[in-house]
Structures are given as C-alpha cells and as structure tokens.
Structure 1
C-alpha cells in the first residue's frame, strides 16, 4: 500500500523496491527458521551409544557405553571413545548444554551399571 502511494506520488520504482525488499526479508526469515530446526539424536542403550546428527541419517559416532567418556568444559559437551570425539548440543544455550551433560552422565552411568560422576 505504501509503495502504491509512492508510485502515485511519482516514484515509479517504489513497487519494485517494495517487492525486492519483501523477497529479501522472506529469504532471511526462511534462513533463520531453518537454522532453528537443527537437531540431533543421541541414543544411549545398554549395547551402544550413537550420535545421529539428522534424524533418519547414519550415526557419526558409535561406541559401547562402557568405553564412552563424557568431556565437558564451559562451552562444549563431547562424547569420546577410542580416540574419536564428537561434540553434541553445539546449537543449545549454555544452560541447556549443562542440562544435556547432566542427563548424558546419568544415562551413561545407568547403561554401564557404573558410576561416572566426577
């Protein structure tokens, strides 16, 4: 509507700029929406621990729970076994990452039957 008023006032390029602006805004919002859809699947069962970055995809990390170590620092949560490491929860906020680390610690201890608390 504003571009139509601009066109009526003599600015012949107002509708074109409004269309271009709308397309750029739509593309930016779509990219933002898609970045918020990131997820990964972490399976902890008595037989193995798997990290699958995309649901339905193939695992990027697989190991027996007895040999998996949980490595945490201020910014990252990692699972390690046999010289391999994978970062999990990189897209989470720091408080959510801490909750993930605590949950993984409990699941690893329960699946292994041992106590992994440090």
Structure 2
C-alpha cells in the first residue's frame, strides 16, 4: 500500500510504483529488441539510415518519459501525531520541503468529495491553514485514509 502507519502515531505516504527499476530495464531492452528486428532486414541499404533516427528517437522518448515519471513520483509525506503537536512534512520531487504544524486539539480532517483537484480530496485544517495530504493516492485509498485519520485524531484530541 502506498501509505502505511510505521508506528501507531506515524504515517508515511508515497505514490504507488507500478513499474519497478528492474521492470524499467526490461521495457527498454524489449523495446530495443523489437525495434531492432525489422531494422536488421534493412542492414546494408539506405533505408536503414532513414529509419534508424526514428527508431532511436522513439527509444529516447520512451526512456525520457519513464525517467520523468520516476522523478515526478519522488514525493514523500510524513504525518506525526503527538500529544502536543501534529506535524506534516512533505518532500517534493525537486527536493524542496514543506512543513505544517498544529496543536492536535485544533486539527480538523476534511474529505472534499467533489470540488477538489481529485475526488475525495483530503485536507487537514488548523493553525489558520488548510493543507492537502495524500492527493497522489487512489480514490479508494483516500477514502480509507480519511477514516483512519479521523479515528487517530479523535484518539489524540
């Protein structure tokens, strides 16, 4: 699951990875092999030099697209629930970070079923701010997370 409670008071969230790094290598190798098969019939002809740039451009585009997907998915959120503070830390794909703190007594978790960037958009309200949590999760995961957060925050508050 893309999110897990590491302790009863600590939650870690990461986007789901459907293609691991080994799978990335397999996809690139398979694509290269499948593109090379018809090109081998063209060896020794001028047609090969006409097709080769397009085949290599397609391979480069696939490589770039998968690498970009990995970079964009380098998001990490961590929620710590303490008796005196709720702390949400987000690390963005570019390495920058954002921190939100609030007294647990004032924290309110909201589920915006519509009107958010995604269905069942979860936000934490408190300390004069509203912050999102787990927007990269699937809709079912956000629904489950909302219920778990309500329960955990009720235990603290």
Same fold (TM over 0.5): yes
What TM-score, normalized by structure 2, do the two folds share? Answer: 0.63
Structure with larger RCO (C-alpha < 8 A, sep 6+): 2
Q: Does 2:112 match 1:67?
A: no
5 Å matches for 1:24-103?
24-54=61-91, 59-74=98-113, 75=119, 76-103=121-148
Kindly tell me the number of residue pairs found equivalent between the two proteins: 112
**1:3 is matched with which residue?**
39
> Gaps spanning 5+ residues in structure 1: where?
113-118
From the CA coordinates, give the structure whose radius of gyration is larger. 1
| Cα offsets for 1:4-57 (capped at 9, x unmatched) | 433434312222222121111100111223334433111111121111111997
Structure 2: gaps spanning 5 or more residues: 1-35, 114-118
- Please identify which structure carries the higher strand content: 2
Is the contact between residue 7 and residue 15 of structure 1 (CA under 8 Å) also seen in structure 2? no
Structure 1: 4+ residue segments shifted above 4 A? 55-59
RMSD of aligned residue pairs (Cα, Å): 2.2
Q: Would you say the 8 A contact 2:101–2:127 is kept in 1?
A: no
Query: TM-score scaled by structure 1?
Result: 0.81
Residues in 2 aligned to 1:14 and 1:8: alpha-carbon distance in whole angstroms: 13
Residue 110 in 1 paired to residue 155 in 2?
yes
